[in-house]
Structure 1
């Protein structure tokens, strides 16, 4: 039975890994895809961003509705939909078909991720047994974010950009096969609770508006009518959503989640830490390979340094959380990320060793924040509260990811255009992190939002 649990957890982690890695796998391959499909940069941006846009907007409502047909069945169906989307994306001969494939991928991913986490957690019989599983899932999420750009770049360089999508197919087949062999399918209980249709619609439209505004802000203009209207609509939608959810007996997101101090603090840390981590990952590979002229493999090896310390620190911090306490853990994590940003902000063309050291600090700092945030976000919740908490934490993580794209990528692209006038090849990169380092260190104060100890 123990081995069966481990197999289930492994399969679910693979599903989580695939859905998250496809958020950034296209980044470095965009130039190759654009040339292959003879499309515009605008079309490429939609192919890149539609995945994150729908993934964030649909994760909570689709995760909730999936219980009506059974969590295990829904996970398998969604995995197959993700497979179909991956095949269409890889085989596409036009930007329109690529966007269709990405849409199907995102719908499948919006179900696979929350249900994959819920199924993995359900293999534990006690909260104490669940904590290491939560830590492993959190580590999987961190590694997916770390490896996405490098994997996409390496596959593009040595095979074709199409393999950034085709590689999903055998892995999904493996996941579905494992699920059919190990999960209860025929007699699986279903959720008979009435679905919150109004809340689902409100959350979808609100999150869609927010994420679209963040994605398009730099190209449409942050003060343009469209962006201001989207932000205004998202805010009003949120207020009405909270008002409505408090007044019904079957809310899509139980508002009692937000009465837990550690859950609220973990949600905020998840957003902020993701911004800081992704803020490096979306810029560093492009800077190292395209601006400094190193190979994609070299940039992949550089990011492996992040993965190394992330792999070590995330599970260790999660397991030691009860002994050390959330405050010390979170404070240390932000300080280490601050050190990383300070190092990134002072590099020179010849300081490769400093880059590797910075990556090691970044991985360690993010590991101390990611795993514990996921554990604290799960708290002592069970059943529908546990599923809802993880869906909410994921959405906050996606918001952090999109915020990072909106802030760091737009700044970097702006700086690249000014190389030779305002910036050099080095300062186009370092100036971003010299400014941000103060904010990263200041974020360590968020540790005070947590309780001193957890029971």
Structure 2
């Protein structure tokens, strides 16, 4: 009888490694929301137009989602640590440029570059986690912590954004990244072994990279701009059609290519596609909560940036508690029941929040729904992450991580586009009938939150097809023959 391998997570190095990897994830996730509370201050300081101001949050999502698949495949082929370090350097430099920006164009360019850096960082980081922490208890606990970080980062971003904006100023929502990036790079070299590259760039799927990056960026861009230009305009319809054509061309290229960016055999892993779609639909609903509740607190209830951020503090605790419970329940119940339970809890929470009144009170009208949603968020993110990475071979870990996180970014862009249109349509209609502004805004936000709760119900239905892993290891064969990866 052979002894089971010792727990890496039980060692000091294992704990430090997990802390490092989750810090990278937190850095990437939080930057999607940390600027939101600072937007009024940014507008006043850099003289942004209302239309251009939307590019401060959206520019990050655009390149983050557009380059995600490329980042994951580069990590698999060129070495995970190497790609994560390169992404962290780019993320840090662009944060400096953004923090010191003196005009709107420089800040938008820095946010676009930040998104590219994050797209290089995140898939490689998650694949390092899934390869360093083996199947079983170690991986379940590690993914539980990761899921808790991912779920709580949006709320923490709003809180930290409020603290920094009212404290040292909005520029620090960018500059705060720099010292963290320095520590991250040092930690990567100290704690993570460098892995050998398995391919040369000369063998890289350049056409596939251009097609999928162009298609994703055009899709996210079209979704972000649709509420402003209209869903029935030539620009929106053409953008959606163009992105669909690019993505279909990408799939055809991947089917025929010798060294595809996205080996389609990865979808033979049972439940992987369902987990990714669950993530996409769920994030669309979750993001509506943070976005529209923040607008409601600032524009209707008159909260300051600090008060708005502090309102999400209980949610951070709820996500953390749910994530901790999930790590203990996954080996017993599996991921699928936890996903469904989490999504139903979150849907109920958003339904309660959709009933917000004009003269709302935090304790009675916001906190109950926020706490229900926070537990749902924690259960969902942990279980979806575990299901999407179950039984993925090490040489496809970066790709699987990229697919999951690309689903998250696309879901965020899709949710903002759809629900902003829902809210704006309701508010504009009421304003045309001479309804007072606070009532019109509240009704629009309420309608958007209700739509978000319906999306979460839809995600629960999709989750029925996801893998129900208990953290056990299985041998999965993806290819009849090894994938050719020439080295010269």
What is the alpha-carbon distance in structure 1 between the residues aligned to residue 347 and residue 274 of structure 2?
19
Verify the 8 A CA contact 2:76 2:395 in the aligned structure 1: no
Verify the 8 A CA contact 1:150 1:285 in the aligned structure 2: no
SS at match of 2:384: helix
What is the alpha-carbon distance in structure 1 between the residues aligned to residue 185 and residue 47 of structure 2?
35
Determine whether 1:429 maps to 2:445. yes
SS at match of 1:80: helix
Determine whether 1:368 maps to 2:387. no
Q: How does 1:68-79 map to 2 (within 5 A)?
A: 69-79=78-88
SS at match of 1:320: helix
Q: How does 1:183-198 map to 2 (within 5 A)?
A: 183-185=192-194, 188-192=195-199, 194-198=203-207
Determine whether 1:316 maps to 2:325. yes
What is the alpha-carbon distance in structure 1 between the residues aligned to residue 468 and residue 386 of structure 2?
15
Q: Report Cα offsets for 1:134-165 as digits up to 9, x if no partner.
A: 22222221121222223222211222110101
Q: 1:261 to 1:208 in 2, by over 3 A?
A: same
Specify the alignment match of 1:28 in structure 2: 37
Displacement of 1:28 in angstroms is 1.8
What is the alpha-carbon distance in structure 1 between the residues aligned to residue 226 and residue 341 of structure 2?
33
Determine whether 1:89 maps to 2:103. no
Q: 1:453 to 1:182 in 2, by over 3 A?
A: closer
Aligned length: 453
Determine whether 1:274 maps to 2:283. yes
Determine whether 1:448 maps to 2:436. no
Displacement of 1:105 in angstroms is 1.4
Verify the 8 A CA contact 1:25 1:152 in the aligned structure 2: yes
What is the alpha-carbon distance in structure 1 between the residues aligned to residue 289 and residue 144 of structure 2?
23
Determine whether 1:400 maps to 2:407. no
Specify the alignment match of 2:338 in structure 1: 329
Q: Report Cα offsets for 1:27-55 as digits up to 9, x if no partner.
A: 12111111101121222222331211011
Q: How does 1:6-405 map to 2 (within 5 A)?
A: 6-67=15-76, 69-185=78-194, 188-192=195-199, 194-348=203-357, 349-354=359-364, 355-405=366-416
The range that moved more, 121-130 or 434-443, is 434-443
What is the alpha-carbon distance in structure 2 between the residues aligned to residue 161 and residue 91 of structure 1?
11
Verify the 8 A CA contact 2:144 2:323 in the aligned structure 1: yes
Displacement of 1:442 in angstroms is 5.0
Verify the 8 A CA contact 2:28 2:122 in the aligned structure 1: yes
Q: 1:75 to 1:450 in 2, by over 3 A?
A: closer
Displacement of 1:430 in angstroms is 2.4
What is the alpha-carbon distance in structure 2 between the residues aligned to residue 39 and residue 277 of structure 1?
28
Displacement of 1:183 in angstroms is 2.8
Verify the 8 A CA contact 2:215 2:243 in the aligned structure 1: yes
Please, what TM-score do these two structures have when normalized by structure 1? 0.93
Q: 1:368 to 1:242 in 2, by over 3 A?
A: same
Pairwise CA RMSD = 2.2
Q: 1:266 to 1:108 in 2, by over 3 A?
A: same
Displacement of 1:68 in angstroms is 5.1
Unaligned runs of 5+ in 2: 1-7, 473-488
Unaligned runs of 5+ in 1: none
Q: 1:33 to 1:438 in 2, by over 3 A?
A: closer
Q: 1:36 to 1:330 in 2, by over 3 A?
A: same
Verify the 8 A CA contact 1:91 1:162 in the aligned structure 2: yes
Q: Report Cα offsets for 1:83-122 as digits up to 9, x if no partner.
A: 1100110100011111222122122111111112122222
Q: 1:382 to 1:279 in 2, by over 3 A?
A: same
Displacement of 1:306 in angstroms is 1.8
The range that moved more, 432-441 or 198-207, is 432-441
What is the alpha-carbon distance in structure 1 between the residues aligned to residue 63 and residue 230 of structure 2?
22
Displacement of 1:439 in angstroms is 4.8
Q: 1:131 to 1:97 in 2, by over 3 A?
A: same
What is the alpha-carbon distance in structure 2 between the residues aligned to residue 137 and residue 331 of structure 1?
19
The range that moved more, 176-185 or 139-148, is 176-185
Please, what TM-score do these two structures have when normalized by structure 2? 0.87
Verify the 8 A CA contact 1:155 1:163 in the aligned structure 2: yes
What is the alpha-carbon distance in structure 1 between the residues aligned to residue 122 and residue 175 of structure 2?
19
What is the alpha-carbon distance in structure 1 between the residues aligned to residue 118 and residue 467 of structure 2?
33
Specify the alignment match of 2:483 in structure 1: none
Verify the 8 A CA contact 2:78 2:198 in the aligned structure 1: yes
Q: 1:257 to 1:317 in 2, by over 3 A?
A: same
